[in-house]
Structures are given as C-alpha cells and as structure tokens.
Structure 1
Amino acid sequence: MSHNPLWLQWAQQIQSIAQAGITYSKDPYDQERYRRLREIAGEIMASYTSVPKDVLSQALAAEEGYLTPKVDVRAVVFDVRGRLLLVRERGEGLWSLPGGWADVGESPGEAAAREVLEESGYRVRPVKVLAVYDRARHAHPPLLWYVYKLFIRCELVDGTARTSLETDRVGFFDRDSIPALSTSRVTAAQIRRMFEHYDNPDLPTDFD
C-alpha cells in the first residue's frame, strides 16, 4: 500500500500518462493535449506543496522519454564493533545512510561506493544488495518523483572521516543511539532492518 497521499498518486499517474503521450504521439494536437496534462500534474503538486508552480513545471518539462522510477542508492556500512555509518546532511541537520541518485553509466555498487567516499571519506567494497524498496510504500514524506531505493551492504576498506559539500558530520552509531534521521532519505524502520541483516547475514534480499 502506498504511503503517498492520493493527490500525489493522481498527479504522478497524470504525469506518467502525459510523458508517454509526449514521447510516442506523432499528432501535434495530441502533443499539445499531453503537454497540458503535464501542466495539470504540476498544478496539482504546486497546490499541495510549497514549491512554486513554475519550478515544478520546469522540472516536469525536463523529463524526456518514457517516464520510469528514479533510483536512490543507500550504502549500509558497519564497523568492526557493529556500528552503522551515518552522515549528517548539511542542509537540514539530520542524519542518513550515505547515498543519493545513481548516475548514468555506473552500476548500483559503484554508486554506493562513490557516495560513501564523497560523503564520509571512507573507501568501501559493495558486497550484497540488502533491500530494494518502493519509496511510496514506506513512511517517507511525499516526493515529486517515483523512486526505488536500493540498500547495499558495503565492507570498509580504508579511509578516515571527512565531511563534504553535502555533509557536515560523519559517525558510526550503535542501534540504540541512532540520531534524528532525514526521513526523506531513510526511515527508522529501515535502519532497524539493516541491523537485522547485520545480525543475520544469510537473510535474503528484501523487496516490495
């Protein structure tokens, strides 16, 4: 069951239909109708959020081709004491697993390793996909895009803690001392599940 509000589900469906029509329709009048549908999706989203309508319209118009979910990769890194690596997001002062959007041309494992190095200063080796989640089915706040979240277990190789343009603190935390989380990126339930994977490495990959 989706945790997204109905208005967002409707707007995303309208956006998806509009984007497919813009991509595949050859009729200029149909093209105009589909662009208007895309504008309506933006207007719905703007009505329920603080994002200006022109900003949303530009973001929607930037999408090309058939609309598919975006991929958010999160790295799950434990130290020898069983503590979990978290980074604090500079913009909001809340903590998250290192991660972000996967880039075109890199594998999920490469994306996880890159994000850890960029956001924390540690070099890691990806070893297992722990979970593939549909963001809309978890307790995240609403987001414009439809997103799949990949949680990848990584082993520490070397490095020392280092902040970045996006992060201002780096630390390892016990399961009973997890700081305030950036729920747009990771939820408390997901963190608990990562510790369960640590306790039982033979657990299969989770997926929705």
Structure 2
Amino acid sequence: MNDLLHDDAVMASIRTLIGIAQTGLTYSKDPYDIERYQQLLETTQQLLAQQPSVLTTQLLHNLVADTGYATPKMDIRAAVFDGERILLVKEIEDGRWSLPGGWADINHSPAQVAAKEVLEESGLRVRPRKLVAFTDRRLHPHPPMLLHVYKAFFLCDLLDGTLRPSLETPEARFFDEHDLPELSTARVTHEQIAMMYRHLRNDALPTYFD
C-alpha cells in the first residue's frame, strides 16, 4: 500500500474531512447530524490507521481527539546569534538540526514561547525583539505533514546562559552561515535560515508573511 501521508493532495483532503467533522460536532444540535459527523471522524481515523507512517502513530490521537472549531497548529521558532554564528539544536527525533522552537503553549504569548523554547532546548536566555516571518508551512519546501501548521520566526537577542542539551535536543551549538549541519527541514529550511541572517544585518526589513 502506498503511504498516502506523503501525498500533499490526499493530506489536504484528510485535513478537510477532519475539520468538517470537528466543526460539525462542535456546532451541531441535531442528534442525527452529530452521529454523521462522528461517523465521518471515525472513518477518517480508520483511513489514517491503515497508513504505514510514523506520522500516523504520533499524530493520530491528537488529530481525532481535538475538539472545537478546526484551526491550524502554531509552531514558534527562534533565531539567536552570537556575532555571525546562528544557534541550532539537534533534534532527537531525526538527528538533524533546527532553530530552537516548538508548539505554542497555552498561557504564553508567541514571544514568551520563543524565549522559553530557547532556554529549555539550549540553556540560553534570550529576549525576542522582532517577528521576522509568519508563514503557512504548506507554502514552503518542508516535507509533507498531515497537520496544517502556521510558523512564527523571531529574531532574539542573546542575554546569558551556558549551552547545554535537553531531553528533546541532545546538542546545541552555534554555526557559521556557510558551515551549517544537515537541517531538519520538517522544522526549518535553508531559505528560512538565510532570511534570519538578512534580518540580522538589516533590522529595517519588514516582516515576511505567507
């Protein structure tokens, strides 16, 4: 069986079905409509469960357990520089490197999430000072993903701290622009790293979106 989760069109359709079911279950009052939306959600769950993909195992429960009006997830990333070197953390999931960051947390502003993720993943304290970009993950060359994700990139000032690993990021280091390690492109692309450098060198650049 082909892995449907590597087909952008199929994933978009599955996202749409899940969104219809979640929204319908949230707002419907008629018991027959509620039953139909529940059946739609269960059928989508069965389709996903048949896919031989690590993504299915990791995300299936969250996808079908989510309630309320369906909206994209929010991923926050932080660019931290030491001179001309950029901070990257090694992701335990794929052994590749990314900007520090992760899913937005409840009761935290986007900037607070950026600072928290840097501290947790690298041991460094930073102060976010500029929103560099706000993007839709689907419109950039990341690997396909079932979730619909928005991404926010912050340029941060380094305050203090000592580099250290974390449970999710076993290594944190500063890298030169032209000597970057293999990137975890599910999280950050080379163009996004280049954009961080452009904003480092020209703070007057406007925030990029889409």
> TM-score scaled to structure 2, two decimals?
0.91
Aligned to 2:36: 33
Q: How many residues align?
A: 205
Q: How does 1:10-49 map to 2 (within 5 A)?
A: 10-49=13-52
Uncovered stretches (5+) of structure 1, i.e. residues with no partner: none
Deviation at 1:70, TM superposition (A): 0.9
- Distance in 2 between the 1:63 and 1:129 partners? 28
Deviation at 1:86, TM superposition (A): 0.3
- TM-aligned CA distance change 1:54 to 1:158, over 3 Å: closer
1:180 has 2:179 as partner: no
Deviation at 1:62, TM superposition (A): 1.5
- Distance in 2 between the 1:73 and 1:92 partners? 19
1:70 has 2:81 as partner: no
1:59 to 50, 59, 62: 62
- Distance in 2 between the 1:53 and 1:201 partners? 40
SS of the residue corresponding to residue 148 of structure 1 reads: strand
- Distance in 2 between the 1:63 and 1:89 partners? 26
- Tell me, yes or no, if the aligned pair for 2:45 and 2:64 is still in contact at 8 Å: no
- Distance in 2 between the 1:55 and 1:179 partners? 26
- Distance in 1 between the 2:93 and 2:64 partners? 26
- Distance in 2 between the 1:175 and 1:51 partners? 32
Deviations 1:125-150 (A, max 9, x none): 01010000101111112222211000
Uncovered stretches (5+) of structure 2, i.e. residues with no partner: 1-5
- Tell me, yes or no, if the aligned pair for 1:122 and 1:160 is still in contact at 8 Å: yes
Identity %: 53
- Tell me, yes or no, if the aligned pair for 1:126 and 1:154 is still in contact at 8 Å: yes
- Distance in 2 between the 1:54 and 1:175 partners? 35
Aligned to 1:148: 150
- TM-aligned CA distance change 1:193 to 1:46, over 3 Å: farther
Q: How does 1:51-200 map to 2 (within 5 A)?
A: 51=54, 58-79=61-82, 81-200=83-202
- Distance in 1 between the 2:101 and 2:183 partners? 14
Deviation at 1:32, TM superposition (A): 1.3
Deviations 1:42-97 (A, max 9, x none): 34444555259787653333201111111100001111x21110000123211000
Q: What do you get for the CA RMSD once the two structures are aligned?
A: 2.0
Deviations 1:149-177 (A, max 9, x none): 00011100000101000111111111101
